[in-house]
Structures are given as C-alpha cells and as structure tokens.
Structure 1
Amino acid sequence: MTADFLTDGPGDAAAVLLLAHGAGAPMDSPFMDAMANRFGARGIRILRFEFPYMLARRAGQRKPPPRADKLVGVYSGVLDLAMRETANARVFIGGKSLGGRVSAMLAGERDDIDGVVCLGYPFHPPGNPDALRLDPLNQAKVPVLVCQGDRDPFGRHEEVMGYPLEPHIRVEWFDDGDHDLKPRGRAAATWTSNLDAAAETAVAFMLEGYGT
C-alpha cells in the first residue's frame, strides 16, 4: 500500500497528526488547508491523505463515499505507513467529519496511537437526530477530542450535551460555528478566531495531554 501525504509542520515534531478529509471535500479544501497550516505553525507534524474514492474523483470519476466502516481498513493501512515516518513522536489520528468518524472507529480497534482529534464530528445525519453515531467515540481505546461548532447540524451544542458520552471523550465548543466552525456575521467570533481556538485546543490536547 502507498499513500501520497500532504505534509505540514516540522519534521522533528513531538507529535504527528494523521488527518483525513470529510465526505465531500478533499484533503486540500479551504478548511483542511486552514487547520493544517495552523497545526503546523504550532509545532505539530501533519500528514494529510485521501481515501480511494476521493482519489478517483480527482481522476474525473464520480465516486460516492462508501460507508464509514468500509474505510477503517484503508485508514489503518495508511496509519502503518505514517508510523514509519514518525520516529519517537506521539501519534494521533483524526479528521474532518467523516474522517473523524473513521478515526474513532479505528481507535476502537487499535491502541498503538495516543489519541483522536475530530474536527466537526457527525453525531447524527442532518435532520435525523435519532440516528446517533456515538459508538465509535464511546468504544475508542484512547482519549478523543471533538472540536464542534455550537450550531453544527450534525450535532448542536444543546443536543450533544445530553448524549451519554464516556469520560475519555472531550467535546470543545466554538462560538456559533457550523460544521466548518464558521459563525454567522452577527456572532462575536469570526471564522479565523474559531479556527485559531480549535487549533490551540487540539495542540494542547496533543502536546500537554488529555484533560489539560
């Protein structure tokens, strides 16, 4: 298996984050670029990659995303490749939306990672709040950080606060943010400030430890 990583951050970083994209946007989407740049500037080594269906889209094929569980094996293989490049760094996995969900699923199978970072977790499909996707988070064998916008249609603040989440899961909220953490114009926060805050929260999680 091979993977073409898009890299950010120092090669000798103390922590490496393997970062997967969401269902509809590639690894170099504006959101992914913005977060990877912020992580890299704060001393985290970022390795971005694409699932096969997204690579097929780049080649002009119309490929829908498969079910999340069908991507776990792919992510696991990419993780094996990434670990060859990490030396003595702490290794985290994560992703945007679908990528975060697959990361959490993988963390239920493997304990040779240090944690999971989910950027906009899809707690449920938009408009279907009863179809909860809590098991990947609750069954993860390592600490999980979720960075979520207050009004994310995949899991709003008032909804998620009532979910039965295990103690190893930490959810951090970002002011008036949508699924990309972007607030409305009348909010006190800006998209830049929310992205900065999410990056700082995730970096502290990776460098200083869970719960700090």
Structure 2
Amino acid sequence: MSEPFEREDVRGDLHRPDADPAGALLLTHGAGGNRDARLLLRAAEEFAAQRLLVLRYDLPFRQRRPKGPPSPSTAERDREGIASAVAAMRELCTGPLILGGHSYGGRQSSMLAAQRPEVCDGLLLFSYPLHPPGKPEKARTAHLPDLRSPCVFVHGTRDPFGSPDEMRAALDLVTAPTRLVLVEGKGHDLAPDRSEAVPLAVEAARATFGFCDRAGRP
C-alpha cells in the first residue's frame, strides 16, 4: 500500500515498511514515464518489504505536463527536484538514503550525486541510458568518475542504450564500489512482470548497501 505525498514541489507516493525503516529509497521515472511506471511500482513494493521507506515521485518536467519527454534545457531543474525529494525524505528517515530511478531519472540522480556527493549514501540505477540507441560515440559518462557512493546498475542484456560490455567499461570509470546486475534477454523497460529484474535489484542492493530485511537480518 502507498499514500500520496506532497511537500512544496515534491509530488509522489510513499510506501512505508511494516517496521521502523532501516533506510530510505527514492525512485523516479524515465523520460517517457511517470511515477506509476510498473517497474517503479514493483520496486517500491519489494523494497518496502525489506524495511525501506520508499518514495516514488515525479520529476519537475512531468509535473509541468503529463506527456512528452524532458528538454535538455530543464535538466538542471529536474536535478533540483531530486534534491528537494531528498530533503523531504531526510526529514522522515534518519537511516541511509539510496537515490535511484529508471533511465533518465537514474541518470539525473547520478549527475546530482556527482555534483553533491553528500546527497545520498548509494545509487540504484535501472537501465542507465549510457548513450542514445545506435550512437555509442555519444557516451553519457563524463560525471561517472565523480561518483563517491556505492552504485548498483540493473541492466537488460538487450538494452539498446548500452550493451553489457559498454556498461562494464563505463563502470570502470567509477572509483566508488559498483555492481552490475544483468537481466538476461530484457530490453530498456526490463519487463518487471516477466523478469527477475526487481528481485535481483533487491539482492544486489542488500549486498551493496547493507540494509536489513523484514526480519532484521543484514
């Protein structure tokens, strides 16, 4: 179950764990979606069951209009929206905070973390858009060496935004601990209802970030 969450310019849905939260997870969407994307819904449910307080939220560009992609000129505003969501969650939970999302949302989260390393304690990035499809020369890697928090990347082996080998090479640029979780045969959407993407993400996140499960086990 979730409950609507609004605070200043943050709009989303909050998933509370059954026990006191061991930490917090923020999840936001890709360029063509919103906070109700099936991947985010399932991930929020699974991670709340692992004692995390989870917020699914819309980026500022999606709050301004219900459809259509973001503009490069407003990417900084989207990162400000992510920072606002972090501040709101810090007021609700004192444990570690993991920042993440799908595709564009994950990329902007990682860029914010590179600019402001103190903003989060870890990154969980689904289908990081390493480059536009068919354009590997336009790699979106400039900020990766500046990441300081542990990172989990969950990626389909058939994702046109980056092959497994390209992802491995990109992760070598990150000096913080990284973990690449490959979802065999899946594309950019990760087919959350037909794959193990979310359970694999939970397992990798627990191993990387060290939060406890519903029984209190690390």
Q: Aligning the two structures, in what range does the TM-score lie when normalised by the shorter sequence?
A: 0.7 to 0.9
**2:188 counterpart (176, 179, 188):** 179
Is contact 1:101–1:136 with CA below 8 Å preserved after alignment?
Answer: no
Query: After the TM superposition, which of the residue ranges 12-21 and 190-199 deviates more from structure 2?
Result: 190-199
Read off the aligned partner of 1:18 and give its amino acid letter. L
Deviations 1:97-130 (A, max 9, x none): 1111011111112233211111110111111111
Is 2:86 the partner of 1:79?
Answer: yes
Read off the aligned partner of 1:202 and give its amino acid letter. A
SS of alignment partner, residue 126 of structure 1: coil
Q: Which residue of structure 2 aligns with residue 207 of structure 1? A: 210
| Cα deviation, residue 161, structure 1 | 2.7
* % identical aligned pairs: 31
**How far, CA to CA, are the matches of 1:180 and 1:206 in structure 2?**
24
| Cα deviation, residue 208, structure 1 | 5.0
SS of alignment partner, residue 84 of structure 1: helix
**How far, CA to CA, are the matches of 2:59 and 2:139 in structure 1?**
24
Q: Which residue of structure 2 aligns with residue 99 of structure 1? A: 105
Is 2:200 the partner of 1:194?
Answer: no
**How far, CA to CA, are the matches of 1:173 and 1:64 in structure 2?**
26
Read off the aligned partner of 1:102 and give its amino acid letter. Q
Is contact 2:130–2:162 with CA below 8 Å preserved after alignment?
Answer: yes
**How far, CA to CA, are the matches of 2:10 and 2:56 in structure 1?**
9
User: 1:33-182 to 2 correspondence within 5 Å?
Assistant: 33-58=41-66, 63-67=68-72, 68-86=75-93, 88-112=94-118, 113-163=120-170, 164-168=172-176, 169-182=178-191
Read off the aligned partner of 2:42 and give its amino acid letter. A
Aligned-residue Cα RMSD (Å) equals 2.4
TM-score, normalised via structure 1 length: 0.84
**How far, CA to CA, are the matches of 1:99 and 1:200 in structure 2?**
21
**How far, CA to CA, are the matches of 2:16 and 2:158 in structure 1?**
30
Is 2:4 the partner of 1:22?
Answer: no
Change beyond 3 A, Cα 1:47–1:15: same
| Cα deviation, residue 18, structure 1 | 1.2
Is contact 1:51–1:74 with CA below 8 Å preserved after alignment?
Answer: yes
| Cα deviation, residue 27, structure 1 | 0.5
TM-score, normalised via structure 2 length: 0.82
Read off the aligned partner of 1:26 and give its amino acid letter. N
Read off the aligned partner of 2:180 and give its amino acid letter. V
Change beyond 3 A, Cα 1:51–1:194: closer
SS of alignment partner, residue 105 of structure 2: helix
**How far, CA to CA, are the matches of 1:122 and 1:109 in structure 2?**
19
**How far, CA to CA, are the matches of 2:69 and 2:165 in structure 1?**
31
SS of alignment partner, residue 153 of structure 2: strand
Q: Give the length in aligned residue pairs.
A: 200
